[in-house]
Amino acid sequence: MIGLGRYVPAVQRVAELTDVNIVAATGLYTYDALPPYFGNRGPGSLFGGPDRLAEFFVRDITEGIGRTGVRAGMLKCATGRQGITPGVERVIRAVARAHHETGVPITTHSESSVRNGLDQQKLLAEEGVDLSRVVIGHAGDSTDLDYLEELIAGGSYLGMDRFGIEFTSFRDRVATVVALCERGHAGRMVLSHDSYCFNDRFDPEVVRQRHPNYHLLHISRDVLPALRAAGVTEEQIDRMLVDNPRRILTGGRR
């Protein structure tokens, strides 16, 4: 997706060499302004005209990303600490329109420290999105169970998805998942790392030093044993790792 990298051929090659199902995303990752191509077109821009964002996202989903033939299977948008800026609002509304046209699910980047997953839900609901098709990303950064239950009550899934990033400790992340499972919410969570194979946005050596468990094996090696030790059942784990992702990606079909 724009803002996080769109070199799909490398990912396509990995998918061909493994049995892993890789689902590409489309969308636009920004906390504030839009890239000039989109910022200078559409509502509120100098020259106005139609908003090209939704059209762009739909093409990625229905025709393929660039010339790769790989069709995106989900939509992504982001909200930073700045909140919903005019540029971010355009992206979220365009994501909602593309969702209605294509039926693919929506996943977000949110800032749990300012509880703005609720703002994302409100704006998407204004656009008529069924919030059960939405994952509020990085919800697992929060240990505020009231906030997390409010997101669940709105209908969305919680992305408990930054295991290995230690500004929220491993112990706290596990304890939050355990508490929500005890409250009957295993069916509203998905687990992941928010990690990557390559990223030039950060100094890799600094990342390794500060977050040594920020890698793609952390959940299987460390998180799942910790959840089991705390009383989370295999049925609940399967729900978070298998059933919920399947339901999100297929629109509820099994």
User: Which CATH number covers residue 172?
Assistant: 3.20.20.140
pLDDT at 6: 86
* Residue 128 CB burial class (10 angstroms; 0-12, 13-18, ≥19): exposed
Same domain, yes or no, for 1 and 83? Answer: yes
* Residue 121 CB burial class (10 angstroms; 0-12, 13-18, ≥19): buried
Residue 34 sits at φ, ψ, to 5 deg, of -95, 155
Same domain, yes or no, for 121 and 216? Answer: yes
Instruction: Quote the CA–CA distance of 77 and 124 in Å, as a whole number.
Output: 11
Same domain, yes or no, for 86 and 165? Answer: no
Q: Is the pLDDT of residue 144 over 90?
A: yes
**Residue 75 or 15, more confident:** 75
* Residue 225 CB burial class (10 angstroms; 0-12, 13-18, ≥19): exposed
Among residues 136, 134, 210, 195, the alpha carbon closest in space to that of 162 is found at 195
pLDDT at 46: 83
Instruction: Quote the CA–CA distance of 69 and 60 in Å, as a whole number.
Output: 9
- Section 80-98 average pLDDT: 96
pLDDT at 191: 98
Six token digits for residue 223: 């998180």
Same domain, yes or no, for 84 and 120? Answer: no
Instruction: Quote the CA–CA distance of 178 and 130 in Å, as a whole number.
Output: 27
Q: Is the pLDDT of residue 117 over 80?
A: yes
Same domain, yes or no, for 77 and 34? Answer: yes
Domain that holds residue 2: 1-104
pLDDT at 125: 98
Same domain, yes or no, for 48 and 124? Answer: no
Instruction: Quote the CA–CA distance of 63 and 117 in Å, as a whole number.
Output: 30
Among residues 181, 176, 124, 182, the alpha carbon closest in space to that of 155 is found at 124
* Distance between first and last Cα of the chain: 27
DSSP 96-124: HHHHHHH---EEEE--GGGTTHHHHHHHH
Rounded to the nearest 5 percent, the helix, strand and coil shares of the chain are: 50, 10, 40
Same domain, yes or no, for 127 and 212? Answer: yes
Q: Is the pLDDT of residue 7 over 50?
A: yes
Same domain, yes or no, for 97 and 182? Answer: no
pLDDT at 172: 98
Same domain, yes or no, for 100 and 217? Answer: no
Residue type for 177, please? Answer: V
CB 122 within 8 A of CB 150: no
Same domain, yes or no, for 117 and 224? Answer: yes
Of 104, 124, 154, which marks where a domain is finished? 104
What is the tally of structural domains in the chain?
2
Of 84, 104, 124, which marks where a domain is finished? 104
- Give the pLDDT confidence of 146-184 residue by residue, as tens digits: 999 999 999 999 999 999 999 999 999 999 999 999 999
Stated pTM of the model? 0.94
Q: Is the pLDDT of residue 254 over 60?
A: no
Same domain, yes or no, for 189 and 245? Answer: yes
Q: Is the pLDDT of residue 208 over 80?
A: yes
Q: Is the pLDDT of residue 242 over 50?
A: yes
pLDDT at 210: 86
pLDDT at 253: 53
Judged by DSSP in three states, 236 sits in: helix
Of 69, 104, 139, which marks where a domain is finished? 104
Average pLDDT, the chain: 94
- Give the pLDDT confidence of 14-48 residue by residue, as tens digits: 999 999 889 999 999 999 999 999 999 888 788 88
- Section 97-109 average pLDDT: 98
Q: Is the pLDDT of residue 109 over 90?
A: yes
Same domain, yes or no, for 127 and 68? Answer: no
